[in-house]
Protein backbone atom coordinates (compact mmCIF):
# COMPACT_ATOMS: atom_id res chain seq x y z
CA UNK A 1 0.00 0.00 0.00
CA UNK A 2 1.43 3.43 -0.89
CA UNK A 3 1.91 5.81 2.03
CA UNK A 4 1.02 9.47 1.48
CA UNK A 5 2.90 12.38 3.04
CA UNK A 6 1.97 16.04 2.61
CA UNK A 7 4.56 18.49 1.30
CA UNK A 8 4.54 21.66 -0.80
CA UNK A 9 6.07 23.28 -3.87
CA UNK A 10 6.08 26.86 -5.14
CA UNK A 11 4.45 28.77 -7.97
CA UNK A 12 5.67 32.35 -7.86
CA UNK A 13 5.57 33.32 -4.18
CA UNK A 14 2.65 31.01 -3.35
CA UNK A 15 2.81 27.38 -2.29
CA UNK A 16 0.57 24.53 -3.43
CA UNK A 17 0.05 21.14 -1.86
CA UNK A 18 2.13 18.21 -3.12
CA UNK A 19 1.24 14.67 -2.06
CA UNK A 20 4.35 12.50 -1.81
CA UNK A 21 3.27 8.88 -2.42
CA UNK A 22 5.80 6.24 -1.37
CA UNK A 23 5.32 2.64 -2.52
CA UNK A 24 7.49 -0.43 -1.85
CA UNK A 25 6.93 -3.48 -4.04
CA UNK A 26 8.55 -6.77 -4.94
CA UNK A 27 10.99 -6.75 -7.82
CA UNK A 28 14.52 -5.75 -8.66
CA UNK A 29 15.66 -3.20 -6.02
CA UNK A 30 15.53 0.32 -7.40
CA UNK A 31 14.51 3.87 -6.63
CA UNK A 32 12.31 5.80 -9.09
CA UNK A 33 10.82 9.29 -8.66
CA UNK A 34 7.98 10.34 -10.99
CA UNK A 35 5.69 13.35 -11.17
CA UNK A 36 7.71 15.84 -13.26
CA UNK A 37 10.69 16.17 -10.88
CA UNK A 38 13.61 18.44 -11.82
CA UNK A 39 17.27 17.41 -11.42
CA UNK A 40 17.45 18.42 -7.73
CA UNK A 41 14.39 16.29 -6.94
CA UNK A 42 15.71 13.30 -8.88
CA UNK A 43 18.98 13.47 -6.96
CA UNK A 44 16.98 13.18 -3.74
CA UNK A 45 17.25 9.39 -3.82
CA UNK A 46 21.02 9.52 -3.24
CA UNK A 47 20.70 11.95 -0.34
CA UNK A 48 17.88 9.93 1.24
CA UNK A 49 19.77 6.62 0.95
CA UNK A 50 22.92 8.02 2.55
CA UNK A 51 21.05 9.92 5.27
CA UNK A 52 18.98 6.91 6.39
CA UNK A 53 21.99 4.58 6.46
CA UNK A 54 24.15 7.08 8.34
CA UNK A 55 21.41 7.55 10.94
CA UNK A 56 21.24 3.81 11.62
CA UNK A 57 18.12 2.97 9.63
CA UNK A 58 18.01 0.02 7.26
CA UNK A 59 17.23 1.06 3.70
CA UNK A 60 14.59 -1.31 2.24
CA UNK A 61 15.96 -3.71 -0.36
CA UNK A 62 12.89 -3.49 -2.58
CA UNK A 63 11.61 -1.57 -5.57
CA UNK A 64 10.83 1.99 -4.37
CA UNK A 65 8.48 4.21 -6.37
CA UNK A 66 7.90 7.83 -5.40
CA UNK A 67 5.09 9.81 -7.02
CA UNK A 68 4.76 13.57 -6.56
CA UNK A 69 1.13 14.49 -7.11
CA UNK A 70 -0.28 16.38 -8.94
CA UNK A 71 1.87 14.70 -11.57
CA UNK A 72 1.22 17.31 -14.29
CA UNK A 73 3.00 20.17 -12.47
CA UNK A 74 6.75 20.53 -12.49
CA UNK A 75 8.43 20.08 -9.07
CA UNK A 76 11.75 21.63 -8.14
CA UNK A 77 13.99 21.98 -5.10
CA UNK A 78 15.40 19.67 -2.48
CA UNK A 79 12.67 20.05 0.18
CA UNK A 80 11.08 16.69 -0.73
CA UNK A 81 13.97 14.80 0.91
CA UNK A 82 12.24 14.77 4.31
CA UNK A 83 8.78 13.55 3.22
CA UNK A 84 10.36 10.88 0.98
CA UNK A 85 12.52 9.56 3.82
CA UNK A 86 9.56 9.59 6.24
CA UNK A 87 7.50 7.56 3.76
CA UNK A 88 10.25 4.93 3.66
CA UNK A 89 10.55 4.88 7.47
CA UNK A 90 6.80 4.50 7.89
CA UNK A 91 6.96 1.39 5.66
CA UNK A 92 9.59 0.09 8.07
CA UNK A 93 7.19 0.84 10.98
CA UNK A 94 9.65 3.17 12.70
CA UNK A 95 6.66 5.29 13.80
CA UNK A 96 2.86 5.10 13.35
CA UNK A 97 1.79 6.06 9.83
CA UNK A 98 -1.32 7.83 11.16
CA UNK A 99 0.86 10.53 12.76
CA UNK A 100 2.03 11.66 9.32
CA UNK A 101 -1.44 12.85 8.34
CA UNK A 102 -1.41 15.73 10.84
CA UNK A 103 1.62 17.55 9.43
CA UNK A 104 3.13 19.08 6.32
CA UNK A 105 6.83 18.23 5.88
CA UNK A 106 9.64 20.15 4.18
CA UNK A 107 13.39 19.83 4.38
CA UNK A 108 16.59 18.97 2.55
CA UNK A 109 18.69 16.17 4.06
CA UNK A 110 22.44 16.29 4.48
CA UNK A 111 24.22 12.97 4.06
CA UNK A 112 24.48 12.60 7.86
CA UNK A 113 20.73 13.12 8.32
CA UNK A 114 20.78 16.80 9.30
CA UNK A 115 18.00 19.04 8.02
CA UNK A 116 19.38 21.95 6.01
CA UNK A 117 17.57 25.30 5.64
CA UNK A 118 15.50 25.77 2.50
CA UNK A 119 13.52 28.32 0.49
CA UNK A 120 9.83 29.15 0.51
CA UNK A 121 9.09 27.99 4.05
CA UNK A 122 6.79 30.92 4.91
CA UNK A 123 4.44 30.39 1.91
CA UNK A 124 4.34 26.69 2.82
CA UNK A 125 3.40 27.50 6.42
CA UNK A 126 0.60 29.75 5.13
CA UNK A 127 -0.59 26.84 2.98
CA UNK A 128 -0.43 24.38 5.90
CA UNK A 129 -2.70 26.63 7.98
CA UNK A 130 -5.08 27.15 5.07
CA UNK A 131 -5.38 23.39 4.48
CA UNK A 132 -6.09 22.67 8.15
CA UNK A 133 -2.93 20.79 9.14
CA UNK A 134 -2.14 20.60 12.83
CA UNK A 135 1.45 21.68 12.21
CA UNK A 136 4.41 21.90 9.86
CA UNK A 137 7.80 20.17 10.27
CA UNK A 138 10.74 22.11 8.87
CA UNK A 139 14.49 22.65 9.41
CA UNK A 140 15.41 24.41 12.67
CA UNK A 141 16.95 27.40 10.88
CA UNK A 142 13.65 28.17 9.12
CA UNK A 143 11.38 28.13 12.17
CA UNK A 144 11.37 31.90 12.74
CA UNK A 145 9.90 32.73 9.35
CA UNK A 146 7.30 29.98 9.70
CA UNK A 147 6.39 31.27 13.17
CA UNK A 148 4.94 34.42 11.56
CA UNK A 149 1.93 32.21 10.79
CA UNK A 150 -0.11 32.04 13.98
CA UNK A 151 -2.36 29.25 15.31
CA UNK A 152 -0.39 26.39 13.82
CA UNK A 153 2.31 24.23 15.45
CA UNK A 154 5.80 24.88 14.09
CA UNK A 155 8.35 22.09 14.63
CA UNK A 156 11.89 23.18 13.83
CA UNK A 157 13.97 20.00 13.68
CA UNK A 158 17.71 19.37 13.63
CA UNK A 159 17.78 15.94 11.94
CA UNK A 160 15.74 13.00 10.72
CA UNK A 161 16.18 11.12 14.02
CA UNK A 162 14.55 13.97 15.93
CA UNK A 163 11.63 13.98 13.48
CA UNK A 164 11.15 10.23 14.06
CA UNK A 165 11.15 10.76 17.82
CA UNK A 166 8.56 13.52 17.49
CA UNK A 167 6.31 11.28 15.39
CA UNK A 168 6.66 8.60 18.08
CA UNK A 169 5.29 11.06 20.65
CA UNK A 170 8.49 12.07 22.47
CA UNK A 171 7.43 14.36 25.34
CA UNK A 172 10.56 16.53 25.24
CA UNK A 173 9.94 17.66 21.64
CA UNK A 174 7.45 20.53 21.57
CA UNK A 175 6.42 23.15 18.99
CA UNK A 176 8.49 26.32 18.72
CA UNK A 177 7.12 29.26 20.68
CA UNK A 178 7.65 32.80 19.44
CA UNK A 179 5.72 35.96 20.18
CA UNK A 180 5.12 38.45 17.39
CA UNK A 181 7.04 41.04 19.42
CA UNK A 182 10.15 38.83 19.44
CA UNK A 183 9.86 38.18 15.70
CA UNK A 184 9.44 41.85 14.76
CA UNK A 185 12.53 43.65 16.10
CA UNK A 186 12.71 47.43 16.25
CA UNK A 187 15.17 48.59 13.61
CA UNK A 188 17.46 51.56 14.03
CA UNK A 189 18.59 53.06 10.74
CA UNK A 190 22.26 53.74 10.07
CA UNK A 191 21.46 56.88 8.06
CA UNK A 192 19.38 59.97 8.85
CA UNK A 193 18.10 63.08 7.09
CA UNK A 194 20.03 65.16 9.63
CA UNK A 195 23.23 64.24 7.82
CA UNK A 196 22.20 66.05 4.62
CA UNK A 197 23.43 69.63 4.36
CA UNK A 198 21.34 72.12 2.40
CA UNK A 199 19.01 70.77 -0.31
CA UNK A 200 15.89 71.97 1.50
CA UNK A 201 13.81 71.87 -1.69
CA UNK A 202 14.83 68.26 -2.42
CA UNK A 203 14.17 67.17 1.16
CA UNK A 204 10.71 68.74 1.02
CA UNK A 205 10.01 66.93 -2.24
CA UNK A 206 11.01 63.58 -0.70
CA UNK A 207 8.78 64.26 2.30
CA UNK A 208 5.84 64.82 -0.07
CA UNK A 209 6.80 61.68 -2.00
CA UNK A 210 6.94 59.59 1.19
CA UNK A 211 3.60 60.95 2.40
CA UNK A 212 1.78 59.87 -0.75
CA UNK A 213 4.05 57.03 -1.98
CA UNK A 214 4.85 59.02 -5.14
CA UNK A 215 7.65 58.16 -7.57
CA UNK A 216 10.57 60.60 -7.72
CA UNK A 217 13.22 61.63 -10.26
CA UNK A 218 16.29 63.48 -8.89
CA UNK A 219 18.34 65.46 -11.41
CA UNK A 220 21.64 67.09 -10.51
CA UNK A 221 25.42 67.07 -10.96
CA UNK A 222 27.73 64.51 -9.28
CA UNK A 223 28.25 65.19 -5.59
CA UNK A 224 24.99 67.08 -5.15
CA UNK A 225 23.64 64.40 -2.78
CA UNK A 226 21.16 62.51 -4.97
CA UNK A 227 22.20 59.09 -3.66
CA UNK A 228 22.32 60.33 -0.05
CA UNK A 229 18.77 61.62 -0.39
CA UNK A 230 17.51 58.41 -1.98
CA UNK A 231 19.09 56.15 0.63
CA UNK A 232 17.44 58.09 3.42
CA UNK A 233 13.96 58.00 1.92
CA UNK A 234 13.11 54.65 3.54
CA UNK A 235 13.90 56.15 6.98
CA UNK A 236 10.93 58.54 6.73
CA UNK A 237 8.40 56.02 5.43
CA UNK A 238 5.76 54.76 7.90
CA UNK A 239 6.40 51.44 9.61
CA UNK A 240 5.15 48.39 7.72
CA UNK A 241 1.88 46.77 8.76
CA UNK A 242 1.85 43.09 9.72
CA UNK A 243 0.28 42.13 6.37
CA UNK A 244 3.01 44.04 4.52
CA UNK A 245 5.68 42.27 6.57
CA UNK A 246 4.19 38.89 5.59
CA UNK A 247 4.12 39.83 1.88
CA UNK A 248 7.70 41.12 1.81
CA UNK A 249 9.06 38.20 3.83
CA UNK A 250 7.38 35.77 1.42
CA UNK A 251 9.27 37.25 -1.53
CA UNK A 252 12.61 37.01 0.28
CA UNK A 253 11.78 33.51 1.56
CA UNK A 254 11.11 32.20 -1.96
CA UNK A 255 14.53 33.48 -3.11
CA UNK A 256 16.34 32.29 0.03
CA UNK A 257 17.46 35.81 0.94
CA UNK A 258 16.34 35.96 4.56
CA UNK A 259 19.87 35.19 5.71
CA UNK A 260 18.86 33.82 9.11
CA UNK A 261 16.77 36.90 10.00
CA UNK A 262 13.49 35.06 9.69
CA UNK A 263 11.52 38.26 9.13
CA UNK A 264 11.89 41.38 6.96
CA UNK A 265 10.67 44.04 9.38
CA UNK A 266 11.91 47.21 7.68
CA UNK A 267 10.98 48.60 4.29
CA UNK A 268 13.34 47.24 1.61
CA UNK A 269 15.76 49.49 -0.26
CA UNK A 270 17.03 48.00 -3.54
CA UNK A 271 19.57 49.69 -5.80
CA UNK A 272 20.35 47.48 -8.85
CA UNK A 273 23.27 48.46 -11.10
CA UNK A 274 22.48 50.02 -14.47
CA UNK A 275 23.80 46.89 -16.23
CA UNK A 276 20.87 44.84 -14.82
CA UNK A 277 18.99 42.75 -17.37
CA UNK A 278 15.22 42.84 -17.80
CA UNK A 279 14.93 39.44 -16.07
CA UNK A 280 17.05 40.67 -13.17
CA UNK A 281 15.04 43.85 -12.74
CA UNK A 282 11.50 42.71 -13.58
CA UNK A 283 11.78 38.97 -12.93
CA UNK A 284 11.89 35.97 -15.22
CA UNK A 285 13.81 32.82 -16.03
CA UNK A 286 12.71 29.44 -17.38
CA UNK A 287 11.03 28.92 -14.02
CA UNK A 288 9.91 32.49 -13.20
CA UNK A 289 11.59 34.14 -10.24
CA UNK A 290 10.95 37.55 -8.66
CA UNK A 291 13.19 40.42 -9.79
CA UNK A 292 14.38 43.61 -8.12
CA UNK A 293 10.96 45.25 -8.45
CA UNK A 294 9.46 42.51 -6.27
CA UNK A 295 12.36 42.59 -3.81
CA UNK A 296 11.52 46.29 -3.37
CA UNK A 297 7.86 45.44 -2.58
CA UNK A 298 6.48 47.97 -0.04
CA UNK A 299 9.85 49.72 -0.11
CA UNK A 300 12.10 51.77 -2.39
CA UNK A 301 13.61 50.86 -5.77
CA UNK A 302 16.51 53.22 -6.53
CA UNK A 303 17.78 53.46 -10.10
CA UNK A 304 20.96 55.52 -10.17
CA UNK A 305 22.15 56.88 -13.55
CA UNK A 306 18.72 56.25 -15.04
CA UNK A 307 19.63 57.00 -18.71
CA UNK A 308 22.41 54.38 -18.53
CA UNK A 309 19.89 51.55 -18.12
CA UNK A 310 18.95 49.77 -21.33
CA UNK A 311 15.90 51.40 -22.88
CA UNK A 312 14.10 48.06 -23.19
CA UNK A 313 14.61 47.47 -19.45
CA UNK A 314 13.17 50.88 -18.61
CA UNK A 315 10.18 50.28 -20.87
CA UNK A 316 9.53 47.04 -18.99
CA UNK A 317 9.14 49.13 -15.84
CA UNK A 318 6.03 50.87 -17.11
CA UNK A 319 3.55 48.11 -16.24
CA UNK A 320 4.95 47.32 -12.74
CA UNK A 321 5.03 51.03 -11.81
CA UNK A 322 1.42 51.51 -12.90
CA UNK A 323 -0.20 48.25 -11.78
CA UNK A 324 1.94 47.37 -8.72
CA UNK A 325 2.29 43.79 -9.94
CA UNK A 326 4.17 42.06 -12.74
CA UNK A 327 3.12 38.97 -14.69
CA UNK A 328 5.80 36.70 -16.17
CA UNK A 329 4.36 34.51 -18.94
CA UNK A 330 5.97 31.29 -20.10
CA UNK A 331 4.75 28.53 -22.41
CA UNK A 332 3.46 26.36 -19.58
CA UNK A 333 2.86 28.92 -16.84
CA UNK A 334 2.08 32.56 -16.10
CA UNK A 335 3.16 33.81 -12.67
CA UNK A 336 2.24 37.11 -11.04
CA UNK A 337 4.55 38.75 -8.49
CA UNK A 338 3.67 41.73 -6.26
CA UNK A 339 5.73 44.91 -6.73
CA UNK A 340 4.14 47.86 -4.98
CA UNK A 341 7.24 50.04 -4.61
CA UNK A 342 8.31 53.67 -4.69
CA UNK A 343 10.52 54.34 -7.70
CA UNK A 344 13.35 56.78 -7.01
CA UNK A 345 15.59 57.53 -9.99
CA UNK A 346 18.64 59.77 -10.28
CA UNK A 347 20.47 61.22 -13.27
CA UNK A 348 22.92 63.95 -14.29
CA UNK A 349 21.76 67.16 -16.02
CA UNK A 350 23.31 66.13 -19.35
CA UNK A 351 25.79 63.77 -21.02
CA UNK A 352 28.84 65.53 -19.57
CA UNK A 353 28.45 64.53 -15.94
CA UNK A 354 30.38 67.50 -14.63
CA UNK A 355 28.50 70.21 -16.52
CA UNK A 356 26.38 72.23 -14.15
CA UNK A 357 28.96 72.14 -11.34
CA UNK A 358 29.52 75.85 -11.73
CA UNK A 359 27.30 78.70 -12.86
CA UNK A 360 29.76 79.43 -15.70
CA UNK A 361 29.39 76.03 -17.29
CA UNK A 362 25.72 75.03 -17.28
CA UNK A 363 23.98 72.55 -19.54
CA UNK A 364 22.03 74.09 -22.39
CA UNK A 365 18.40 73.21 -23.05
CA UNK A 366 19.38 71.29 -26.19
CA UNK A 367 21.97 69.25 -24.28
CA UNK A 368 19.41 68.47 -21.59
CA UNK A 369 16.76 67.49 -24.13
CA UNK A 370 19.18 65.20 -25.98
CA UNK A 371 20.21 63.46 -22.74
CA UNK A 372 16.68 63.15 -21.37
CA UNK A 373 15.50 61.64 -24.66
CA UNK A 374 17.07 58.37 -23.49
CA UNK A 375 14.07 58.10 -21.20
CA UNK A 376 10.69 57.65 -22.84
CA UNK A 377 7.91 60.16 -22.22
CA UNK A 378 5.41 57.51 -21.04
CA UNK A 379 7.84 56.33 -18.33
CA UNK A 380 8.52 59.91 -17.24
CA UNK A 381 4.77 60.53 -17.02
CA UNK A 382 4.60 57.75 -14.44
CA UNK A 383 7.09 59.55 -12.20
CA UNK A 384 5.04 61.98 -10.14
CA UNK A 385 7.78 64.27 -8.82
CA UNK A 386 10.80 65.68 -10.69
CA UNK A 387 13.34 67.49 -8.52
CA UNK A 388 16.43 69.42 -9.53
CA UNK A 389 19.20 68.88 -6.99
CA UNK A 390 21.75 71.71 -7.35
CA UNK A 391 25.38 71.77 -6.30
CA UNK A 392 25.76 72.13 -2.50
CA UNK A 393 26.92 75.60 -1.48
CA UNK A 394 30.08 75.99 0.62
CA UNK A 395 28.15 77.65 3.46
CA UNK A 396 25.93 74.56 3.67
CA UNK A 397 28.91 72.18 3.61
CA UNK A 398 30.55 73.82 6.64
CA UNK A 399 27.30 74.59 8.47
CA UNK A 400 26.95 73.15 11.98
CA UNK A 401 23.20 73.56 11.97
CA UNK A 402 21.43 70.23 12.14
CA UNK A 403 18.31 69.82 10.09
CA UNK A 404 15.26 67.78 10.99
CA UNK A 405 15.83 64.16 11.88
CA UNK A 406 14.20 61.32 9.99
CA UNK A 407 12.07 60.54 13.05
CA UNK A 408 10.56 64.05 13.05
CA UNK A 409 9.77 63.92 9.34
CA UNK A 410 8.38 60.39 9.68
CA UNK A 411 5.80 61.61 12.22
CA UNK A 412 4.37 64.10 9.70
CA UNK A 413 4.43 61.47 6.95
CA UNK A 414 2.61 58.98 9.18
CA UNK A 415 -0.12 61.52 10.00
CA UNK A 416 -0.63 62.27 6.29
CA UNK A 417 -0.87 58.54 5.55
CA UNK A 418 -3.47 58.13 8.32
CA UNK A 419 -5.62 60.80 6.65
CA UNK A 420 -5.34 58.93 3.35
CA UNK A 421 -6.22 55.56 4.92
CA UNK A 422 -9.30 57.07 6.53
CA UNK A 423 -10.38 58.72 3.26
CA UNK A 424 -9.77 55.59 1.14
CA UNK A 425 -11.13 53.07 3.64
CA UNK A 426 -12.71 50.05 1.96
CA UNK A 427 -11.30 50.77 -1.51
CA UNK A 428 -8.25 48.43 -1.41
CA UNK A 429 -5.91 51.35 -2.04
CA UNK A 430 -3.81 52.80 0.73
CA UNK A 431 -2.21 56.05 -0.43
CA UNK A 432 -2.74 58.93 -2.83
CA UNK A 433 -0.36 57.58 -5.48
CA UNK A 434 -2.59 54.50 -5.89
CA UNK A 435 -5.76 56.46 -6.64
CA UNK A 436 -7.42 55.70 -9.96
CA UNK A 437 -9.46 58.11 -12.09
CA UNK A 438 -12.61 57.59 -10.05
CA UNK A 439 -10.90 58.47 -6.77
CA UNK A 440 -9.07 61.46 -8.30
CA UNK A 441 -12.37 62.95 -9.48
CA UNK A 442 -13.93 62.44 -6.06
CA UNK A 443 -11.11 63.48 -3.71
CA UNK A 444 -9.08 65.97 -5.77
CA UNK A 445 -11.62 68.73 -6.39
CA UNK A 446 -10.03 72.19 -6.79
CA UNK A 447 -11.28 75.80 -6.75
CA UNK A 448 -11.28 78.20 -9.72
CA UNK A 449 -7.87 79.68 -8.88
CA UNK A 450 -6.28 76.25 -8.81
CA UNK A 451 -8.07 75.33 -12.06
CA UNK A 452 -6.50 78.35 -13.75
CA UNK A 453 -3.04 77.17 -12.69
CA UNK A 454 -3.72 73.69 -14.04
CA UNK A 455 -4.99 75.11 -17.33
CA UNK A 456 -1.78 77.12 -17.67
CA UNK A 457 0.29 73.97 -17.00
CA UNK A 458 -1.51 72.03 -19.72
CA UNK A 459 -1.49 74.80 -22.34
CA UNK A 460 1.91 76.39 -21.76
CA UNK A 461 4.04 73.61 -20.26
CA UNK A 462 2.54 70.86 -22.41
CA UNK A 463 1.42 68.60 -19.57
CA UNK A 464 -0.16 65.36 -20.75
CA UNK A 465 -3.42 64.07 -19.30
CA UNK A 466 -1.43 61.65 -17.15
CA UNK A 467 0.84 64.47 -15.92
CA UNK A 468 -2.27 66.53 -15.07
CA UNK A 469 -3.60 63.67 -12.95
CA UNK A 470 -0.22 63.25 -11.24
CA UNK A 471 -0.19 66.93 -10.27
CA UNK A 472 -3.62 66.53 -8.68
CA UNK A 473 -2.47 63.50 -6.69
CA UNK A 474 0.65 65.30 -5.47
CA UNK A 475 -1.42 68.37 -4.56
CA UNK A 476 -3.76 66.11 -2.56
CA UNK A 477 -0.73 64.78 -0.66
CA UNK A 478 0.61 68.31 0.01
CA UNK A 479 -2.80 69.23 1.44
CA UNK A 480 -2.74 66.10 3.64
CA UNK A 481 0.69 67.08 4.99
CA UNK A 482 -0.75 70.50 5.84
CA UNK A 483 -3.74 68.84 7.54
CA UNK A 484 -6.22 70.47 5.15
CA UNK A 485 -9.29 68.88 3.59
CA UNK A 486 -9.43 71.12 0.50
CA UNK A 487 -6.83 71.46 -2.24
CA UNK A 488 -5.94 75.12 -2.77
CA UNK A 489 -3.95 77.02 -5.39
CA UNK A 490 -0.93 76.90 -3.06
CA UNK A 491 -0.94 73.10 -3.07
CA UNK A 492 -1.44 72.92 -6.84
CA UNK A 493 1.34 75.46 -7.42
CA UNK A 494 3.82 73.33 -5.46
CA UNK A 495 2.66 70.23 -7.32
CA UNK A 496 3.28 71.94 -10.68
CA UNK A 497 6.81 72.84 -9.57
CA UNK A 498 7.53 69.14 -9.23
CA UNK A 499 6.70 68.62 -12.94
CA UNK A 500 8.98 71.37 -14.29
CA UNK A 501 11.10 68.96 -16.34
CA UNK A 502 8.23 68.11 -18.68
CA UNK A 503 9.30 71.06 -20.84
CA UNK A 504 12.35 69.10 -22.04
CA UNK A 505 10.25 66.22 -23.45
Residue 355: is its pLDDT beyond 80? no
Residue 4: is its pLDDT beyond 60? yes
Residue 172: is its pLDDT beyond 90? no
Q: How many domains does the chain have?
A: 2
Residue 421: is its pLDDT beyond 50? yes
In a domain, 94, yes or no: yes
In a domain, 495, yes or no: no
Q: How far apart are CA 61 and CA 393, in angstroms?
A: 80
Q: Are residues 101 and 22 in the same domain?
A: yes
Q: For position 152, which CATH number holds?
A: 3.30.230.10
Domain limits at 141?
3-181
Determine the pLDDT at residue 472: 94
Q: Which of 181, 213, 248 is the last residue in one of the domains?
A: 181
In a domain, 433, yes or no: no
Helix (H, G, I), strand (E, B) or coil at 137: strand
Find the mean pLDDT for residues 299-325: 91
Q: Give the mean pLDDT of the chain.
A: 89
Q: Are residues 175 and 236 in the same domain?
A: no
Q: Are residues 211 and 154 in the same domain?
A: no
* Short-list 78, 112, 87, CA closest to 164: 87
Pairing of strands 325-329, 283-284: unpaired
Find the mean pLDDT for residues 113-119: 94
Find the mean pLDDT for residues 469-479: 94
Q: Which of 394, 425, 456 is the last residue in one of the domains?
A: 425
Residue 3: is its pLDDT beyond 70? yes
Percent of the chain with pLDDT over 70: 96
Q: Are residues 381 and 302 in the same domain?
A: yes
Give the confidence band of 426 by pLDDT, cuts at 50, 70, 90: confident
Determine the pLDDT at residue 272: 95
In a domain, 64, yes or no: yes
Q: How far apart are CA 200 and CA 127, in angstroms?
A: 48
Find the mean pLDDT for residues 273-280: 91
Q: Are residues 206 and 111 in the same domain?
A: no
Residue 504: is its pLDDT beyond 70? no
Q: Are residues 67 and 211 in the same domain?
A: no
Determine the pLDDT at residue 379: 85
pTM assigned to the model = 0.90
More confident of the two residues 500 and 264 = 264
Give the confidence band of 301 by pLDDT, cuts at 50, 70, 90: very high
Give the confidence band of 380 by pLDDT, cuts at 50, 70, 90: confident
Q: Are residues 208 and 324 in the same domain?
A: yes
Q: Are residues 231 and 160 in the same domain?
A: no
How does pLDDT run across 55-71, given as a tens digit for each residue? 999 888 889 999 999 99
Q: Give helix then strand counts, H and E, for the chain.
A: 22, 18
CA distances from 157 to 25, 82, 179, 374, 479 (A): 30, 11, 19, 54, 53
Find the mean pLDDT for residues 334-341: 92
Q: How far apart are CA 326 and CA 314, in angstroms?
A: 14
Instruction: Say how many CA atoms lie within 13 Å of 134 toward its Cβ.
Output: 10
Determine the pLDDT at residue 344: 96
Give the confidence band of 167 by pLDDT, cuts at 50, 70, 90: very high
Residue 26: is its pLDDT beyond 70? yes
Q: Are residues 22 and 46 in the same domain?
A: yes
Residue 505: is its pLDDT beyond 70? no
Determine the pLDDT at residue 360: 44
In a domain, 431, yes or no: no
More confident of the two residues 332 and 383 = 383
Determine the pLDDT at residue 395: 73
CA distances from 39 to 42, 46, 82, 333 (A): 5, 12, 17, 19
Residue 254: is its pLDDT beyond 50? yes
CA distances from 12 to 190, 254, 290, 479 (A): 32, 8, 7, 39
Q: Are residues 123 and 236 in the same domain?
A: no
Find the mean pLDDT for residues 397-415: 86
193-202, 356-365, 481-490: which range is least confident on average?
Answer: 356-365
Q: Are residues 234 and 303 in the same domain?
A: yes
Determine the pLDDT at residue 87: 94
Determine the pLDDT at residue 330: 80
Q: Are residues 249 and 285 in the same domain?
A: yes
Determine the pLDDT at residue 354: 60
Find the mean pLDDT for residues 73-100: 92
Percent of the chain with pLDDT over 90: 58
For 501: left if phi > 0, alpha if psi spans -120 to 50, otherwise beta; the answer is alpha
In a domain, 480, yes or no: no
Q: For position 403, which CATH number holds?
A: 3.40.50.300
In a domain, 350, yes or no: yes
Q: Which of 181, 202, 234 is the last residue in one of the domains?
A: 181
Determine the pLDDT at residue 187: 67
Find the mean pLDDT for residues 330-343: 88
Helix (H, G, I), strand (E, B) or coil at 289: strand
Residue 359: is its pLDDT beyond 50? no
In a domain, 356, yes or no: yes
Find the mean pLDDT for residues 382-408: 83
Amino acid sequence: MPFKIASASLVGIDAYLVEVEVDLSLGIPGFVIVGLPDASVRESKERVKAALKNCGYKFPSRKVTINLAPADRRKEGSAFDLPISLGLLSHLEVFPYERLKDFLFLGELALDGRLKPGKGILPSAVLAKKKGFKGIVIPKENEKEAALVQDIDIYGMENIVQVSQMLNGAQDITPSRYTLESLLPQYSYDVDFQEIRGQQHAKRALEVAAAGAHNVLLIGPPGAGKTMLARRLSTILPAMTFDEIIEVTQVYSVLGLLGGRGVIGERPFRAPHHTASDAGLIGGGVIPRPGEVSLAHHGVLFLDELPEFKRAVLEDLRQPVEERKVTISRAYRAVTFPCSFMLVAAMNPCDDAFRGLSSDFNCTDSQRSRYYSKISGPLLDRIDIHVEVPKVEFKDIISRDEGESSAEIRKRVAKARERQLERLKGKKIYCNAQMETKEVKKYCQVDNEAKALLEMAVNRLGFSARAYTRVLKVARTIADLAGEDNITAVHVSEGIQYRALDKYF
